[in-house]
Structure 1
Amino acid sequence: MKLYTYFRSSAAYRVRIALNLKGIAHEMSAVNLLKAEQTSEQYTNKNSQGLLPALETEQGVLAQSLAILEWLEETHTETPLLPSDAWQKAQVRSFCYAIACDIHPIDNLRVLKYLSSELNVDDEQKNAWYRHWVIEGFKKIENLITGDKFCFGDKPTLADACLIPQVFNALRFNVDMSQFPKIDAVYKHCNTVQAFIDAAPENQFDAA
């Protein structure tokens, strides 16, 4: 497998965590978002969506991080990242969607660049936008967390794979995490687990 990634891409970060937790051998290929390499013909020939991440497999190239996570879960079952109980599984998926569908899309690089280049928003206003929507999103998911070390139960799930990258970015934009003690506790614990450490942006080969 080959993962097309960028060290600070939240969506690619999710997949790196899952690959590490499952112990799946893979190589990585860097696609620099700041240089718009995701729009290059070389990359869009593999992933026509022109977004990160993409996972190249023997069957072809799969895009969209949640689809990749679900595929990995279904094809590499030795280390499950979803509970076996259907209701608990739905709770984890709901948490993941709250991050990947509600929080992340309005705070990603494309949106922030549009605010700056097309709407002439200055950096202070852009950062305020980011913090507002992350804080609003975190308010919604803080009380969904039922675990002490991980989001749900005593083992990592896809919820943790989605949460940790979003918190990493929140901290980059100076979001005060003390107002979200459950999220903060999970973030701090996960970052003591080797699979999460190895997936962290600062530990990537393309980290600037």
Structure 2
Amino acid sequence: MDTNSEEFSSSSSTKIVLYSFWQSSCSWRVRFALNLKGLDYEYKAVDLTKGEQFSPEFERLNPLHFVPVLTDGDLIVSDSFAILLYLEEKYPQHPLLPADAKLKAANLQIASIVNSSLQPLHMLSVLNYIGEKVGLEERQLWVEQHMKKGFVALEKLLKKFPCRYATGDEICMADVCLAPQISVAVKRFNIDMSEFPMLSKLYEAYQILPAFQASSPQRQPDAIV
């Protein structure tokens, strides 16, 4: 991975460019996938705390003002789920989706729960709004309520797959989405994971993976530690 740049342009010495924020779990999913697939990419930091996502330059990449955004040549893809599916199609090395139809469906279901029903509820913009309206204590309660609701559902799904990783003995798309989500729950929001043994076991397995370690927030060029 190359160092970051503050210029939101598509020109790059490498083909793939990832616009990312170090604490964004959506960006983390994509970084994890890129590392698993062994793809070199240029990291371009977008500081969400400074509002850089609202600059005219970034708006041309994603009018929704969200990270991540991935460019590959003249192609621009925003939304982490869409990016993961694109990478899977364009770069088949280390497949993230199993060939088996049932396992593929399970991976897409788990990934969708994280992408649609969990992560959007603790986005920075959402939490800032809740904090301003009802206070920091209520904000934390909001996170815990919705995070645990999603984790309960995921635990039930994962019990069908008593494997090394989410759906088998190889890292797949479900894992790519689960790993950052569990880490955020533990490290950022101090969620008690004793209620979720399946997720806790997976998190232990993820933490020793070089691709996971390299994609972690504190290892990113824009990290503030």
Paired residues of 2:110 and 2:154 also in contact (CA < 8 A)? yes
Question: Which TM-score applies when normalising by structure 1?
Answer: 0.96
Structure 1 segment 89-128 matched on structure 2, within 5 A: 89-117=104-132, 119=133, 121-128=134-141
Deviation string, structure 1 residues 30-89 (Cα, Å, up to 9, x no partner): 001111111111211222221000001113211000000000001111210110011210
| Amino acid across the alignment from 2:202 | V
Q: Partners in 1 of 2:53 and 2:79 — Cα distance?
A: 14
Residue 178 of structure 1: CA displacement? 1.3
Aligned to 2:146, which of 93, 110, 133?
133
Tell me the SS of whatever aligns to 1:45. helix
Paired residues of 1:148 and 1:182 also in contact (CA < 8 A)? no
Structure 1 segment 51-62 matched on structure 2, within 5 A: 51-62=66-77
Root-mean-square deviation (CA, aligned residues, Å) is 1.0
Residue matched to 1:184: 200
Aligned-residue sequence identity (percent) comes to 36
Residue matched to 2:92: 77
Aligned to 1:201, which of 208, 211, 217?
217
| Amino acid across the alignment from 2:139 | K
Structure 1 segment 12-91 matched on structure 2, within 5 A: 12-91=27-106
Paired residues of 1:96 and 1:158 also in contact (CA < 8 A)? yes
Tell me the SS of whatever aligns to 2:50. coil
Q: Partners in 1 of 2:88 and 2:172 — Cα distance?
A: 10
Q: Partners in 2 of 1:96 and 1:7 — Cα distance?
A: 20
Q: Partners in 2 of 1:155 and 1:88 — Cα distance?
A: 12
Residue 150 of structure 1: CA displacement? 1.1
Paired residues of 1:18 and 1:69 also in contact (CA < 8 A)? yes
Evaluate the alpha carbon distance shift between residue 147 and residue 195 of structure 1 in structure 2; reply closer, same or farther with a 3 A threshold.
Answer: farther
The count of aligned residue pairs is: 206
Deviation string, structure 1 residues 137-191 (Cα, Å, up to 9, x no partner): 1001012121433101000001111011111111111100111011011111111
Q: Partners in 1 of 2:150 and 2:89 — Cα distance?
A: 28
Question: Which TM-score applies when normalising by structure 2?
Answer: 0.89
Q: Which structure 2 residue ranges, 5 or more long, are not aligned?
A: 1-15
Following TM superposition, the consecutive aligned residue runs of length 4 or more in structure 1 with deviations greater than 2 angstroms are none
Paired residues of 1:56 and 1:62 also in contact (CA < 8 A)? yes
Residue 106 of structure 1: CA displacement? 1.5
